[in-house]
Amino acid sequence: MLAATVLAAASLAAQAADFKDRNLKLSLVVDRGTAQYDGVERFAELLRTRSAGRMKLKIFGGGTLGGDLPVLSSLQGGTIDFTLLNASLLQGNVKEMAIFDMPFLFESEREADAVVDGLIGRKLLDLLPAKGLVGLAYWELGFRNMHNSRRPITKLEDLAGLKMRVIQTPIYLDLLNTLSANAVPLPFPELYSALEQRAVDGATNPPITMQVQKFHEVQKYYSVTRHMYNPQALLISRKVWDTFSEDEKKLVLEAAAEARDYQRKVSRQKNAEALETLRKELQVNEVAPAEIARMREKARPVFDKYARQIGEPLVQEMVAEVQKVRAKR
């Protein structure tokens, strides 16, 4: 009885708030079953229920509305309302967002959460409205590992000559090339067929992405490198955001934060479970800490190059924040 009364009161409060009837679109390059998809489903449900059904969000997964970069342009134009993508892909709009591609920066999710949810993460999101975008919250893809169809990566030298798909950002291209692979930038929706046809030998993805996107069907080796952590940015078009009432903006921000916490929890659980499943389907190896250290040292020129481009004070601020969190372990 009490629960019904609370729900009824919440519904009345929602109806009294300034919510318009809205049919909104969210574009996502990954498919159902990923933690990202689970998160946007939770986000959509929160918007619907807390607006008394007025804010309806339809999810277009699997890259059906296009790859990440074209979708960003659509957000700026106001023809797509929301998207969720790797935060570093925003560097074409805000150069400082490239900081999230810095290799071997984070060692744990706790370090990443402290940075993106803190002053540095907020400072970066505050640069987006001038580019026609509004950042709502950081979710996660997680730690990337390397996979391919030719050989296990157990040491730095094993990367030599491998054609590795990379996300379409300059740092990632330089990183894999510096590690002696041949980096091939490619939109995510094209990756499965490129792996299947051997246009590329491999790529870098978290375990759950491997499983849901069925990359394990066309790969043989999965090497746990955790060389890069990708936070994802939940974005809304500024043109759309500016039409929202204060009540609508408040709801969207609260739903984005609540769905973020849910999505991260699901992501970490699913990635752990998917890694165990991959051990049955592929040859999985953990790269030894000494070899990770060699890769990190080999990648140092890339880190230094992009620190100068991004802005050394910001990079130093982020490194200091990471070290502060790491010291509390």
**Residues 261-281: what's their mean pLDDT?**
96
pLDDT per position as a tens digit, 229-243? 999 999 999 999 999
Confidence of residue 65 (pLDDT cuts 50, 70, 90): very high
What top-level class would CATH report for the domain 21-327? Answer: alpha beta
Q: Please tell me what DSSP assigns to residue 32.
A: B
- Alpha helices for the chain (secondary structure H): 2-16, 35-50, 68-77, 109-116, 119-125, 170-178, 191-196, 207-212, 238-241, 246-281, 289-298, 300-310, 312-327
- Give me the residue spans of the domains in the chain: 21-327
Q: What is the DSSP string of 214-264?
A: TGGGG--EEEEEEEEEEEEEEEEEHHHHTTS-HHHHHHHHHHHHHHHHHHH
Confidence of residue 123 (pLDDT cuts 50, 70, 90): very high
Q: Which two tokens stand for residue 34?
A: 């990923």
pLDDT of 271 > 90? The answer is: yes
pTM of the model: 0.86
3-state secondary structure of 52: coil
The total number of residues written for the chain in this structure = 329
- Name the residue among 25, 111, 67, 48 with its Cα closest to residue 259: 48
pLDDT per position as a tens digit, 167-190? 888 888 999 999 999 999 999 889
Confidence of residue 101 (pLDDT cuts 50, 70, 90): confident
pLDDT the model gives residue 5: 46
Say how far apart CA 97 and CA 94 lie, in whole Å: 6
Q: Which residues contact 317 (CB under 8 A, 6 or more apart)?
A: 120
pLDDT the model gives residue 276: 96
pLDDT per position as a tens digit, 197-240? 999 999 999 999 999 899 999 999 999 999 999 999 999 999 99
Say how far apart CA 243 and CA 94 lie, in whole Å: 23
Confidence of residue 8 (pLDDT cuts 50, 70, 90): very low
